Amino acid sequence: MHNAANFDATRELAQFVAALSYERIPQPVIAKTKDLMVDWLGSALAGKGARPVVAFERFTTAMGPRAGNAEVIPSGATTSALFAALINGAAAHVAEQDDVHNGSVFHPAAVVFPAVLAVAQSERASGRDVLVAAIAGYEVGIRIGEFLGRSHYKIFHTTGTAGTVAAAAAVSRVLGLDADQTQHAMGSAGTQAAGLWEFLRDAADSKQLHTAKAAADGLLAAYLARDGVTGARRILEGKQGMAAGMSTDADASKLVDRLGTRWATAETSFKWHASCRHTHPAADALQSLMSREHLRADDIARVTARVHQGAIDVLGAVTNPTSVHQAKFSMGTVLGLIAVHGSAGLDEFETRALDDSRVRSFRNRVSMVLDDEVDTEYPARWIGKVEVETTDGRLLAARVDVPKGDPDNSLTRDELAAKAIKLASFGGAATAEETRAAIDRVWSLEAQDPVGMLLQRHG
């Protein structure tokens, strides 16, 4: 049942966004946001040349200006803020290495940074403005994801739905909208919010469409609000709002949970493996077990991944992956790459996920079962458990309580930089030197006024 609140949660969120300032944000949260932006930059660069991204670039060439004030991260071209947000939103969600917030099951970077950076470049805003606006988007989007609950995620891709409102909130902050205008922007964003999981069954490209449209539609909503277009004032918790149509377990109190004192941005996790986050806990557990027991892939007869229901809902749709991207949603493929090649990174997926007979064979030896403890703890904690039967008849088990990339087991700045440089080189979008220079610009973002282009390509 939807928990109807007697307070106006959408209004409180809008007031928070409008009043947020650089000085009010703890410095560790600012530092984490720069790390998140570095991580996003790598993922956006890795999208270069991907079919959906190329399609968005062609669409932009046909429909948008040939040049503008906003940077297209994969190609280095420029266009209007709207089309830059569209392309960069799509690009960031291709490699499956963009960040995730566990409790909301939401990928904030892919929708927040494309919108914020494009508008900041277009409006000549400062680096501090970028950081404050991004944090506003993260704080709003994460809380909306938590509010909409597990029932929402079963059908809806939260990054597309909550992400549209997150992008609107973030752009509202860049534009300096007041609380009324921000509330209208959120209303216009929420009525556009969309994204359905059915695409997984067809290996369709909709995941990139979801992030592209969330970033662009949030931007649209904020600009319309600046020009006086009104939106529903209670788009989130109203009787015919998002929760009413998209959730059966929504809890409106989560929308304002410790707003301004609990910084959800800092809770966001980085992704280590180049696959759906639901595969990561089991992948870490299998890697740990194989190392502990000195096993090779051929020593393993069967693997049972003990998972939460959300993993079964999303990954269970993929039994025989037919594309590299679909393979990233196949538990068997991910564990097969870990077992056979020791890694489930970009290169492994590109060259071995579909055509390697040993990986395919291992995939068929993997199953998922619902685990009560894992399911109860999810989504606050993503516990990894695997059970392995060896070819010589032994039964072994391992668990991981904090997957690599979570805040309590995070990536160092050196690891983040190495990851971004590798992602950038994957599609040939930027050299290591160009990427390193862009990373340094992000890590000194608060000193830039106005914020300029992140990448200076020399090729």
pLDDT digits over 218-270, tens only?
Answer: 999 999 999 999 999 999 999 999 999 999 999 999 999 999 999 999 999 99
Tokens 């290996």 locate to 203
- Banded model confidence at residue 5, pLDDT cuts 50, 70, 90: very low
Give the count of alpha carbons within 13 A of 379, CB side only.
25
Q: What is the mean pLDDT of residues 327-353?
A: 97
- Residue 321, preceding peptide bond in cis (omega within 30° of 0): no
Burial of residue 233 (number of CB atoms within 10 Å: 0-12, 13-18, 19+): middle
DSSP E strands in 154-213: the ranges are none
Could you read off the pLDDT of 140-172 as tens digits, one per residue?
A: 999 999 999 999 999 999 999 999 999 999 999
Q: Cα–chain-centroid distance for residue 75? A: 21
Q: 9-267 has which CATH code? A: 1.10.4100.10
- Banded model confidence at residue 295, pLDDT cuts 50, 70, 90: very high
Could you read off the pLDDT of 420-447 as tens digits, one per residue?
A: 999 999 989 999 999 999 999 999 999 9
The answer to whether the beta carbons of residues 279 and 331 sit under 8 Å apart is: yes
pLDDT at 4 over 60: no
Give the span between the Cα atoms of 455 and 452, in whole angstroms: 9
> Which amino acid, residue 196?
L
- Banded model confidence at residue 407, pLDDT cuts 50, 70, 90: very high
Best CA proximity match to 189, nearest among 156, 230, 157, 228 = 230
Q: What is the pTM of this model?
A: 0.96
pLDDT at 458 over 90: no
CATH superfamily label, 277-404: 2-methylcitrate dehydratase PrpD (3.30.1330.120)
Give the span between the Cα atoms of 205 and 47, in whole angstroms: 13
SS3 of 249, please?
coil
Q: What is the phi/psi pair of residue 286, to 5°?
A: -65, -40
Q: So where are the chain's domains?
A: 9-267, 277-404
Report the mean per-residue pLDDT for the chain: 96
| Cα 380-382-388 angle, rounded to 5 deg | 155
